[in-house]
Amino acid sequence: MNTLGQDAKNHATAVGLNVDRITINGGKPLVGRIELKGAKNLVTKAMVAAILGDTPSVLKDVPNISDVRIVRGLLEVHGVTVTDGPVEGELILDPSAVETAHMADIDAHAGSSRIPILFCGPLLHRLGEAFIPDLGGCRIGDRPIDYHLEVLRNFGAIVEKLPSGIRMSAPDGLHGAKVALPYPSVGATEQVLLTAVLADGITELSGAAIEPEIMDLINILQKMGAIITVDTDRVIRIEGVDKLDGYTHRALFDRNEAASWAAAALATEGDIFVGGARQAEMLTFLNVFRKVGGDFDIAEDGIRFFHPGGDLKPVIIETDVHPGFMTDWQQPLVVALSKAKGVSIVHETVYEQRFGFVDALVEMGASIEVHKECLGSAACRFGQRNFKHSAVISGPSRLTGADIEVPDLRGGFSHLIAALTADGRSTVSNVGIIARGYENFITKLELLGADFELDA
């Protein structure tokens, strides 16, 4: 089994799934209702934030996805007691016995996750040292951690690169700093927040990411006792405090999952009510969904996404940091764009290599060309650097079933959608990767009437 295959198996096993491949008979619209839980990209960070509290924290709406399992394991090897609350999806995190973990244990639990880098600030505060192994995550570009290391150095951490990973220490404690990010990185902004709240003095972060998941992390930190001001123009100011308490918080819904099911409704000519989705955090997605020819109804308890009939229309999109069109939304939508009548362009400006998934769509009959040029109104960081980061999608195309392999989380979900829309049978392997970020996706497919069989 190759590394990706092993990785897929590990993710599936972590959530109790014994599945490697799904064989899908395409052509059936997805119709029905599903429920969302908290956002993967908030919940995992909220779990890390619990280390900062002097008392236990309670997090609600935690999805059963393997990234959550990984963070739970990492917290446990650091002495945090994590228990399931009385209500499904509730976690109680008690950090009172936080301790240094063995490097081998951290390595074994981190798997391919990039979350360990966010443990550094909280562990430096609690223990004076932190270790991180080599980091993974989805294969969607280089995904360096240079901003994170620079941020931690700004706070006074000593960073040593060892053959097995990176060791950090803060013999003189951490102190507030003026930090300017070269790009509004989500992870580096979270790094600053999780470190600055207990640092001595004031921190001023400019060039911050302001995604809704970051705002919800700020809500959590404020509940814990932190003082954080979000100013205009991506400036966040944090006044360090001496101590923080635990929090009780219901996590923000997963808008990436919502967008994925919305795209699935559109591509399969279906009708899906996504319970828990909210308009405010999805404004940009909803505009594009409407422009492509999709329709939606906003209800108090969710959003209904549907194909109203007629031709889908091509669009020009550039992915961007919030409030732009999220990079995690483009992959599922590209499948729907392959069905639109005309030429669509997607300029990916957040990650340099996020079009690997289109090879399988082309094999299935989509007409998609990926270019190195910036095909958008703004030149991005990847222009003139040989990264194929602009996709031209010509439609409408009929897709036919094929044997395809999930390359990464969002690309994997787009492969599922492609197979659901295709004529005939498709076999999608390495589906375990999808369990990293989509809770109960197999049960949800069943609920929505998909025609498929599982293969262990």
Q: Which of 57, 66, 112, 185 binds ligand EPU (CB under 6 A)?
A: 185
Q: Which residue number has the CB closest to ligand EPU?
A: 187
If one asks whether residue 143 binds ligand EPU (CB under 6 A), the answer comes out as yes
CB of 186 vs ligand EPU, minimal distance in Å: 4
CB of 231 vs ligand EPU, minimal distance in Å: 20
- Candidates 21-29, 72-80, 222-230, 322-330; binding stretch for ligand EPU (CB under 6 A): 322-330
Query: Residue 90 is which amino acid?
Result: E
Rounded distance between C-alpha atoms, residue 128 and residue 121, angstroms: 9
SS3 of residue 313 by DSSP = coil
**What's the Rg (C-alpha) of the chain?**
22
Rounded distance between C-alpha atoms, residue 101 and residue 98, angstroms: 9
168 or 350: CB nearest ligand EPU: 350
Rounded distance between C-alpha atoms, residue 413 and residue 435, angstroms: 10
- Candidates 3-11, 21-29, 92-100, 141-149; binding stretch for ligand EPU (CB under 6 A): 141-149
Contact predicate 230/243, CB 8 Å: no
Q: Which of 72, 410, 415, 444 binds ligand EPU (CB under 6 A)?
A: 410
Q: Which of 95, 111, 187, 376 binds ligand EPU (CB under 6 A)?
A: 187
- Candidates 55-63, 121-129, 179-187, 287-295; binding stretch for ligand EPU (CB under 6 A): 179-187
Contact predicate 233/43, CB 8 Å: no
CB of 397 vs ligand EPU, minimal distance in Å: 25
Q: Please choose, from the candidates 1, 24, 10, the residue with its C-alpha nearest in 3D space to the C-alpha of residue 448.
A: 24
If one asks whether residue 416 binds ligand EPU (CB under 6 A), the answer comes out as no
If one asks whether residue 157 binds ligand EPU (CB under 6 A), the answer comes out as no
The pair phi, psi for residue 85, each rounded to 5°, is -80, 180
If one asks whether residue 433 binds ligand EPU (CB under 6 A), the answer comes out as no
If one asks whether residue 437 binds ligand EPU (CB under 6 A), the answer comes out as yes
Rounded distance between C-alpha atoms, residue 329 and residue 327, angstroms: 5
Q: Which of 409, 417, 433, 442 binds ligand EPU (CB under 6 A)?
A: 409
If one asks whether residue 72 binds ligand EPU (CB under 6 A), the answer comes out as no
If one asks whether residue 116 binds ligand EPU (CB under 6 A), the answer comes out as no
CB atoms within 10 A of CB 365: 16
If one asks whether residue 439 binds ligand EPU (CB under 6 A), the answer comes out as no
Buried (b) or exposed (e) across 114-150, using 16+ Cβ within 10 A?
Answer: bbbbbbbbbbbbbbebbbbbebebbbbbeeebebbbb
Size of the site for ligand EPU (CB under 6 A): 27
CA 74, 60, 124, 151: dihedral to nearest 10 degrees? Answer: 100
Contact predicate 308/295, CB 8 Å: yes
If one asks whether residue 193 binds ligand EPU (CB under 6 A), the answer comes out as no
Distance, first Cα to last Cα, the chain:
14
Q: Is 120 a catalytic residue?
A: no
Q: In the window 326-365, what residues touch ligand EPU (CB under 6 A)?
A: 326-328, 350-351
Interaction mask 235-274, ligand EPU, x per CB under 6 A: ---------------------x------------------
Long-range residue pairs from 308-311, CB within 8 A, at least 24 positions apart, any chain: 311/340, 311/341, 311/396
Contact predicate 282/253, CB 8 Å: no
Q: Give the active site residue among 120, 138, 374, 380.
A: 138
Buried (b) or exposed (e) across 333-347, using 16+ Cβ within 10 A?
Answer: bbbbbbbbeeebbbb
If one asks whether residue 188 binds ligand EPU (CB under 6 A), the answer comes out as yes
Rounded distance between C-alpha atoms, residue 286 and residue 294, angstroms: 9
- Candidates 100-108, 186-194, 265-273, 395-403; binding stretch for ligand EPU (CB under 6 A): 186-194
CB of 451 vs ligand EPU, minimal distance in Å: 27
293 or 437: CB nearest ligand EPU: 437
10 or 256: CB nearest ligand EPU: 256
Chain residues that interact with ligand EPU, rule: CB under 6 A: 40-41, 114, 138, 141-148, 183, 185-188, 209, 256, 326-328, 350-351, 409-410, 437
Residues annotated as catalytic are 138
